[in-house]
């Protein structure tokens, strides 16, 4: 996180306190977009601990980092034994096919000129990639700096915890709070997560 980002976020006193507590957090594009998207699919609706364990077993089955060919060649029974549901296996295969075919191009280069909404639209055409997964992809695979993934329960709970003593807020109220972080909402999101998980 550079000084420009820190200066913008620090204009929100609550966020300034989170930066002091958690230090500098980065938003950097993933080295491998496909592998990052696989991780998001594995993580869907799982706690952090079980997601990490299943991801390790998933990589063991693949015999290395995820590539479209490895995912498509993997034995379905072995993937199920690794802890993936049949549905998630289907989602991972659909994602592998989309990346292997490369149409549309879902890499950083391919989506470089697409707005966030257009990128989400392309990603959600893949079976199993919903709004949440697509927004995680924008932040963690593409390294986009101004994404607010309100579909994420931890983000919503975190904003309520940090800004409203845990009391409920509407999504509209959350968007209003996050306006102060623009054009760096992805960074604000990371700080809210860090605080929520600590």
Cα-trace Rg, the chain: 18
Cβ atoms 138, 152 nearer than 8 A: no
Q: How far apart are CA 53 and CA 110, in angstroms?
A: 32
For residue 35, which phi and psi values (nearest 5 degrees)? -60, -40
Its pTM stands at 0.86
Q: Which residues contact 187 (CB under 8 A, 6 or more apart)?
A: 1, 5, 9, 25, 27, 145, 181
Chain segment 40-96, per-residue pLDDT in tens: 899 888 877 888 999 999 999 999 999 999 999 999 999 999 999 999 999 999 999
Torsion of CA 9, 12, 15, 20, to 10 degrees: 80
Q: How confident is the model at residue 44, as a pLDDT?
A: 82
pLDDT band at 197 (very low <50, low <70, confident <90, very high): confident
Q: What is the mean pLDDT of residues 22-48?
A: 90
């Amino acid at each position: 996180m550079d000084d420009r980002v820190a200066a913008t976020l620090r204009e929100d006193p609550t966020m300034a306190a989170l930066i002091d507590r958690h230090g500098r957090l980065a938003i950097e594009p993933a080295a491998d977009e496909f592998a990052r998207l696989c991780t998001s699919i594995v993580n869907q609706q799982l706690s952090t601990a079980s997601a990490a364990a299943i991801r390790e077993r998933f990589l063991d089955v693949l015999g290395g980092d995820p590539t479209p060919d490895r995912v498509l060649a993997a034995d379905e029974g072995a993937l199920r034994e690794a802890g993936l549901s049949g549905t998630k296996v289907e989602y991972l295969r659909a994602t592998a096919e989309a990346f292997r075919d490369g149409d549309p191009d879902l890499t950083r280069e391919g989506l470089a000129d697409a707005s966030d909404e257009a990128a989400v639209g392309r990603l959600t055409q893949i079976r199993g990639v919903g709004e949440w997964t697509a927004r995680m992809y924008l932040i963690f695979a593409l390294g986009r700096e101004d994404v607010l993934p309100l579909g994420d329960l931890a983000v919503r709970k975190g904003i309520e915890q940090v800004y409203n003593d845990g009391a409920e807020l509407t999504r509209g109220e959350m968007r209003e709070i996050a306006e102060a972080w623009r054009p760096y909402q992805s960074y604000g999101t990371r700080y809210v997560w860090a605080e929520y998980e600590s």
